Amino acid sequence: MNRAPLSADRSVVITGIGAVTPLGNDFDSIADALLAGRSGVVEIDGAGFSREARQFAAPVAAIPTVATDSDNAFDRLGQICLAASSAAKADAGLGDLRAGRGPVAGARVGLVLGIGAEQLKRWEADFLAGGGEVFSPDRPASLVHRIAARLGIQGPAVTVAAACASSGYALALARRWIATGLVDVCLAGGCDILSPTGFAAFYNLRALSRRSDHPSRASRPFDRERDGFVMGEGGAVLVLESRRHADARGARVRGELAGVGMSGDAAHMVIPSDDPTEAARAIHLALQSAGVQPADLDYVNAHAAGTPVGDVAEAAAIRLALGTATDHVPASSTKSMSGHLVSGAAAFEAIACLAAIDRQAIPPTLNLDSPDERCRLDHVPHVARPHPVTVTASNSFGFGGANLCLVIRRAA
């Protein structure tokens, strides 16, 4: 997957975007919010969630209604995934897949969703409602297959789990399916929701910020005063297809998923490795896959969630992978605005890269008042930076050592 760039006509391009996020539910709204430095973090009702007097998070304000969900067969996670998938399908102009009246037959369309804890969400919802149905054989089919059925997708449909990198791994798998000809088109991404279990787990791990002064100031990637991440919810689904196939059907091309790099270090269940070698290797492999050099990069969307250990580890990995180019490649963390969408983070941050390309500007890192001297990068604090952007890289580093980098560039 990481050896050589794909030929121009077989390159994998992005032809559709669907999203349900704290910063908006369509590309333009999200791009506007990111470039304006608008935070989606608010104070939420902590009942069932909070271990502190005040709880901050970045929730989805409203989930778009999908006509096919009229029977309310989906829980909140399912509704977000269905809405994002349906919007991506519509944005790509795929038409009616099941009836074959659109430009693509449903049997040649795949679906890959990165959902780190689907069964946990089911268990939690059932447990809080009184229990008794967790292992019932009458449970409906898995979420990804129910979404595929609703959208008329009859090709392969799977879920992948790689912690905070889940939706990025979904995009990587979809790219491989297309490159090998398994499908013509693939919807890929991932989503997550705010949940009592998630809050409790991350709080007990001391991964969550415990700031209580103001919601929009809580997420502080790379800042000396950072103390953890702010949880967000939502996610994104992208439509991928080969350039040859997209051109043949006259599809609008939003960008190219030019390269993928993955590695694993498994140093600790939740603490990043203090050796940046494997994380840097994921970045290096992504660049190699795309056929670009470090100096070719115009922007790095950092995973940087705002944890004291994680941000330092990532900065070291970026510097190791990019070498002297590090000082000249702008880097920022959009989690300072969106919060950490966990399973949905990588797909959402792919949209942030597309926004940088579309608007020719680098989204800022909010609250970067005093950059940590251990995170020596070309930071973009507080406000967006106008900048020519053609080639971008987006990092995702999941708990347990799931390292991922995606290279996204302007389509030729």
Residues with catalytic function: 164, 303, 340
CB hemisphere CA count around 227 (13 angstroms): 9
> For residues 113 and 344, what is the distance between their CA atoms, to the nearest angstrom?
9
- Name the residue type at position 111: L
User: 3-class DSSP state for residue 12?
Assistant: strand
* DSSP character at residue 228: -
Cα end-to-end span (Å), the chain: 21
User: 3-class DSSP state for residue 310?
Assistant: helix
Residues 6+ apart with CB under 8 A from 356: 298, 299, 301, 362, 363, 387, 389, 392
Measure the CA dihedral 278/258/35/42, to 10°.
Answer: -50
Describe the crossing of helices 166-179 and 345-359 by its angle, rounded to 10 degrees: 70
